[in-house]
Amino acid sequence: QVQLVESGGGSVQSGGSLRLSCAASGYTYRPFCMGWFRQAPGKEREGVARIRTGGGITTYADSVKGRFTLSQDKAKNTVYLEMNSLKPEDTAMYYCAATPFPGCSTLVRDFGFWGRGTQVTVSL
């Protein structure tokens, strides 16, 4: 059973930065894809960024391109989401997710393992 534990959320002012971490454990084979999703109050969960863990290929939502960077440390079984130039509209609960299956899509239903989330709040 894959376990994902997020950390690094917090409150910052607009234009600030945060780095989220997601530590994965409990798997026999490395998840094919790991991603970050976010959910703001009253809104659906949406994909932010994802990485194919084998080759390190990353994909980002248009809303965060150029501001967020997803990376991984295979030795630590951890992925990181560096978030810069944060905006109030980035305020949400951020969730780490993983899937052992090829595809690495933006769809919530394609990810079978989820962390509990970490809150990010950006104020004006």
Specify the pLDDT at position 95: 98
Burial 15-39 (b: 16+ CB within 10 A, else e): eeebebbbbbeeeeeebebbbbbbe
Q: What pLDDT score was predicted for residue 105? A: 87
pLDDT band at 27 (very low <50, low <70, confident <90, very high): confident
For residues 80 and 83, give the distance between their C-alpha atoms in angstroms, rounded to a whole number: 9
Other residues' Cβ atoms within 10 Å of the Cβ of residue 103: 12
| Angle, CA 100 vertex, CA 4 and CA 25 arms, to 5° | 30
Query: Which tens digit of pLDDT belongs to each residue from 66-107?
Result: 999 999 999 999 999 999 999 999 999 999 999 988 888 888
- Say if CB 111 and CB 95 are below 8 A apart: no
